Amino acid sequence: MSDASHTAAAVRPATFSNPVIPGFHPDPSVCRVGDDYYVVCSSFEYFPGVPVFHSRDLVNWTQIGNALDRPSQLRLSDAPSSGGIYAPTLRHHDGRFRLIVTHVSDGGTMLFTASDPAGPWSDPVRLPGVPGIDPDLAWDEDGACWCTVAGVSQIRIDPDTGEAFGTPHRLWSGAPDAKAPEAPHLYRIGDYWYLLIAEGGTERCHGVSIARGRTPDGPFEPCPANPVLTHRGTDHPVQNTGHADLVQGPDGSWWMVLLGVRPRGGTPGWHVLGRETFLTPVTWVDDWPVVAAVTTEPPAPPWPLVPGPAEPVRDDFDPGGLRPQWISVRDRPAEHCTTGERPGWLTLRARGSSLDERDVVFVGRRQQHPACRARALIDPAQGHGGLAVRLDERHHYGIEALDGEVRVISRVGPVRAVVASRTVPAGPVTLAVRIAVAPQQDSRSGPDVLTLGVEDPDGAFTALADLDGRYLSTEVAGGFTGRVIGLYAASGTVRFDWFDYEPLLV
């Protein structure tokens, strides 16, 4: 390329393990400011919305907040499961961070600003003149701001007021016969403007394609090697690769973040963690990006980028609020969820009567590992509630405590059942769920097995039920989310002394 900082170099090896942000973290968008990288992801019906991550090396990511953490920013009362917040784009321009998203359940395109990506972020500026989903932001040399959306179409906007100028005009939309051209990102790199898109739908045919032009509004010529990345039609352990974003490192290297899934089990394969964030290196040849294969295997040492320590697995619910990893279904009113009422305990006050209800009081964290264990100590003396693995209102498993009894509840589609129960001593009880990868014995084997039970004070585990994990998968339930493991109240007031989550060896 004409700019020396973009010249092609030898392909850099993949020196890290994927996914770099595991679990339900789809639609990643990345930007760099100095030596710091930031990533945001879709959050759908969960509150707070749009998790924000920070890294210095693109490999070790720490969640520093959620961009949409106030009711004035995010109203989800009308959002169905897999509705809500879609496909944010994060950019930095003129000293400000700008985040543009689609709220498909509350008015469409919205834009937020912040001086610090950890927050606070502004209340939304609404953009009624920007239709569709997956909005992108790019500024040309004259300072004009271009918003490109799925379809693919584009319109010039004022990002401060939300005013749109003219009407959207169509751009290059990928292969003529490819469905769902979406996730557009527009970049000025060297002598060209590049339009990166996803196409093929976000399932097994997902892919990444690119085109280039001399101006931000085209015309664009497609790359002759399109799609520049896809795993369609392969037996690669990472599938559904797409919805990508590009970023350049301080050393001139180029990288792509993208979503993918890790299906397991027999036919058709079930992914249960949701769409996750992956990373792969990019080089440039003849002014076109060459994207390296997405790998999941850790490299042999030494390597220049090394994974850091995992986040703490235990939460003792100290006063001062919940960590940013905790998310709730649609809202989190303080009168229903607090760490301040009983010091060192999380207090949940029921609203909906079960996880089947849209307004259930639920606080959870994403399942991030194929095999893991989660536990919580609950005091159900003034109500009942429990520990659950949730995909949506119609697909969840839970172990629920009443004073003196525990029971395992399964909800799969229209069928809700108590599949096991057991008496326990009155008072606090430790609930547990263990998730193990299922042995792949034949084409009908599921992805994993969820074992729900209780632990005694000495740590001995008593299993009450083994449940097939395929029913808590996107391939069964549909939608765009992944599993969330958490705590809920079904009646009255329940309190949790601690919660821990531990990855297990596969």
β-strand partners of 291: 282
DSSP calls for 42-108: --BTEESEEEEEEESSSSS-EEEEEEE-STTT---TTPPTT-SEEEEEEEEETTEEEEEEEETTTTE
Cα gap 446→74, rounded to integer Å: 36
Contact indicator for 243, 256 with CB cutoff of 8 Å: no
User: What is the rounded distance in angstroms from the CA atom of residue 270 to the CA atom of residue 144?
Assistant: 44
| Closest C-alpha among 113, 197, 127 to residue 157 | 127
Q: What is the DSSP letter of 11?
A: P
Q: Which one-letter DSSP state was computed for residue 264? A: B
Distance CA 409, CA 384 (A): 13
Helix (H, G, I), strand (E, B), or coil: what is residue 470? helix
Asked if 30 and 245 touch (Cβ cutoff 8 Å), the reply is: yes
Q: Does residue 61 contact residue 69 with C-beta atoms inside 8 Å? A: no
Pairing of strands 337-338, 346-349: antiparallel
CA distance 214 to 465: 61
Residue 434 vs residues 61, 271, 336, 505: alpha-carbon distances, Å = 26, 17, 28, 12
359 is catalytic: no
Which residue among 27, 106, 134, 392 is the active-site one?
27
Task: Read off the DSSP letter of residue 21.
Answer: B
Q: What Cα–Cα distance (Å) separates residue 438 from each residue in 174, 274, 448?
A: 39, 18, 4
Catalytic residue among 45, 106, 182, 392: 182
Spatial distance between the Cα atoms of 497 and 380, rounded to a whole number of angstroms: 11
DSSP designation for 365: E
The reply to whether 158 belongs to the active site is no
Angle subtended at Cα 9 by Cα 4 and Cα 14, rounded to the nearest 5 degrees: 130
**Pairwise CA distance, residues 76 & 13, whole Å:** 43
Active site residues: 27, 182
